Structure 1
Amino acid sequence: MRIARTFVDARRNGIAVPDYPGTLPTTLAEAYAVQDDALSLSDAEVVGWKVGRINPPIDGIDRLSGPIFAGSVHDQAEPPVGMPVFADGFGAAEAEFLLRIGTAPDPAKTQYTMAEATALIDAVHVGIEIASSPFPGINSNGATATISDFGNNNGLVVGAEAEGWRDGDVNTWPIELWINDEQIGAATAAAMLDGPFGAARYLFEHMAQRGIPLRAGQWISSGAVTGVHQVAIGDRVEAKFDGRFAVTCTIKAR
């Protein structure tokens, strides 16, 4: 509980955690136990879940999850919305497909086909995930550190709906991440395991196993397509999708 309380207090007060606040969890179960403790201490509404990659996999599991809280999700705006990171912690931006749950999954169902998972999604948007933690070493201490601090999530910027996502294959869309007008990364979702709908399938199965119900209207941040790109205060971030859609934000201090 000490680890969870330290991270919750640090996030609430906007302060850094220079060193990991306890013994680093050695298993995914231990890490999610810390996340569960932190959720019990937080009074913020969970409005979605981020999915990230575990590379290399741990015990055959190649993805992780963490909550997205109310107040941290913003629509694309002009001028670009300022997204906060912990100035003395870790901060990064990620180009992602954002999936919205249209039908709540059966909490007792623990296995899904891709078609079954996709059928529960009612919208797909282009977006940016802001990854940030009070602990500056979160991204260099492995998946269990990430999981233990809410999956390293600190918000979403929701862009336009990805037109044609039902009929086309968003996995083939070229995606770029730009910081301060310099291209930092480029890739397609085909390179990220089984793509954004695979992330949804993982999340539905994972949350059923944890006994945490999902709700219609919640977002799924489906994973960094071009990588996890560190940002600094004052940076301007732009994610470009298929040459047709763009999402922008600026980075400010928490």
Structure 2
Amino acid sequence: MSDEKRTGGAADVLWKAWTSGEQIAALPDEVRPRDDFEGFATQLAVGGHAGPPYGWKIAATTAAGQAHIGVSGPLPGPLFERFRHEPGDVLSSDGMHMRVVEAEFAYLMGTDVEPDAGPDEIVAAVDRLHLAVEVPDSRFARYETAGGPQLLADCACAGRFVLGPEVPGWAEHDLSTWGTAVWINGERAATGSGGNVLGDPRNALVWIAEDLRRYGRGLRAGELVTTGTTTAPVPVGAGDEVRADFGYLGEVAFRFAG
């Protein structure tokens, strides 16, 4: 079987699970990605079903997150336009398996990142910073044992995403020490800081720009990069009201349908 047929076949299986709400134990042997490169190629093929992406997410930016899913480092994944939401929206809770939310910082790129750009140039390519909440999900019944290549194929557990307000003067703030909290139904459920994201959300941005080079890709102007959870993932369920609090930078609030 050709590489193209393998990745296309894996993408078909994943998209069927995504849209049906059913979970799978693993991808069939004949299409299961054998390494990270096949996993990444599969997530690009999933885009043929899901529609246009508008940026990237980063999974497992904490040591605890990496240990939980058995990987040695973070994983990149696409953000699909069809699963994008705004604060105040009511998100469907149907077919939601992981049932967690994550408070995150997200960068909007103002210019393309050149292939040889260093860390300072990557950060300088940012136009804006936004507050955000990711609602990750997986098509695997036991995503924590699926392994890196299959998780990459599964779009690094991409799900729904709520893009919050822009942060004026973002470059003046030390996000590595910036406190965050997640409130569920009016009660504080978790606290954290930007330092939980590879030490600083800027580090996560640099990481994904450099990692995408392995796959012949790069960050482009207009793309959003959400950098990973600042708190432990917070459990949620149908009917829950969610508020991610970033102090005086602002907040992101929405709820799930009952």
Q: Which interval holds the TM-score relative to the shorter structure? A: 0.7 to 0.9
Structure 1 counterpart SS, 2:73: strand
Among 54, 70, 77, which residue is 1:66 paired with?
77
Q: What is the rounded CA distance, in whole Å, between the counterparts of 1:57 and 1:202 in structure 2?
A: 20
Q: What is the rounded CA distance, in whole Å, between the counterparts of 2:159 and 2:50 in structure 1?
A: 15
Q: What is the rounded CA distance, in whole Å, between the counterparts of 1:237 and 1:158 in structure 2?
A: 13
CA positional deviation for 1:250: 1.3
Q: What is the rounded CA distance, in whole Å, between the counterparts of 2:68 and 2:122 in structure 1?
A: 22
CA positional deviation for 1:88: 5.7
**Structure 2 residue 100 is the aligned partner of structure 1 residue 92:** yes
Contact 2:69 2:145 in 1 (8 A): no
Q: What is the rounded CA distance, in whole Å, between the counterparts of 1:229 and 1:25 in structure 2?
A: 30
**Structure 2 residue 124 is the aligned partner of structure 1 residue 119:** yes
Q: What is the rounded CA distance, in whole Å, between the counterparts of 1:147 and 1:249 in structure 2?
A: 28
Structure 2 length-normalised TM: 0.83
98 and 156 in structure 1: CA distance in 2 versus 1, 3 angstrom threshold: same
* Aligned pairs, number: 245
Q: What is the rounded CA distance, in whole Å, between the counterparts of 2:256 and 2:147 in structure 1?
A: 24
Q: How is 1:199-238 mapped onto 2 (pairs within 5 angstroms)? A: 199-238=204-243
CA positional deviation for 1:16: 1.1
Structure 2 counterpart SS, 1:151: coil
Among 52, 60, 64, which residue is 2:59 paired with?
52
146 and 84 in structure 1: CA distance in 2 versus 1, 3 angstrom threshold: farther
Unaligned runs of 5+ in 2: 1-5
86 and 182 in structure 1: CA distance in 2 versus 1, 3 angstrom threshold: same
Contact 1:84 1:154 in 2 (8 A): no
Q: What is the rounded CA distance, in whole Å, between the counterparts of 1:201 and 1:61 in structure 2?
A: 17
136 and 233 in structure 1: CA distance in 2 versus 1, 3 angstrom threshold: farther
The percent identity for this pair of structures is 24
What code does the residue aligned with 2:28 have?
Answer: G
CA positional deviation for 1:71: 2.5
Q: Quick check: which one's strand share is greater?
A: 1
Instruction: Tell me the equivalent position of 1:42.
Output: 49
Instruction: Tell me the equivalent position of 2:22.
Output: 16
Q: What is the rounded CA distance, in whole Å, between the counterparts of 1:60 and 1:21 in structure 2?
A: 18
Per-residue CA deviation, residues 59-82 of structure 1 (Å, 9 max, x unaligned), is 995211100011322232xxx212
Q: What is the rounded CA distance, in whole Å, between the counterparts of 1:120 and 1:70 in structure 2?
A: 22
Q: What is the rounded CA distance, in whole Å, between the counterparts of 2:207 and 2:67 in structure 1?
A: 17
89 and 60 in structure 1: CA distance in 2 versus 1, 3 angstrom threshold: closer
**Structure 2 residue 190 is the aligned partner of structure 1 residue 182:** no
What code does the residue aligned with 1:175 have?
Answer: T
Q: What is the rounded CA distance, in whole Å, between the counterparts of 1:197 and 1:124 in structure 2?
A: 11
CA positional deviation for 1:51: 0.9
Q: How is 1:158-177 mapped onto 2 (pairs within 5 angstroms)? A: 158-177=163-182
Contact 1:51 1:66 in 2 (8 A): yes
Instruction: Tell me the equivalent position of 2:3.
Output: none
Q: Quick check: which one's helix share is greater?
A: 2
What code does the residue aligned with 1:55 have?
Answer: Q
249 and 193 in structure 1: CA distance in 2 versus 1, 3 angstrom threshold: same
Contact 2:92 2:257 in 1 (8 A): yes
Structure 1 length-normalised TM: 0.84
Backbone CA RMSD of aligned residues: 2.7
Contact 2:26 2:146 in 1 (8 A): no
Unaligned runs of 5+ in 1: none
CA positional deviation for 1:52: 1.7
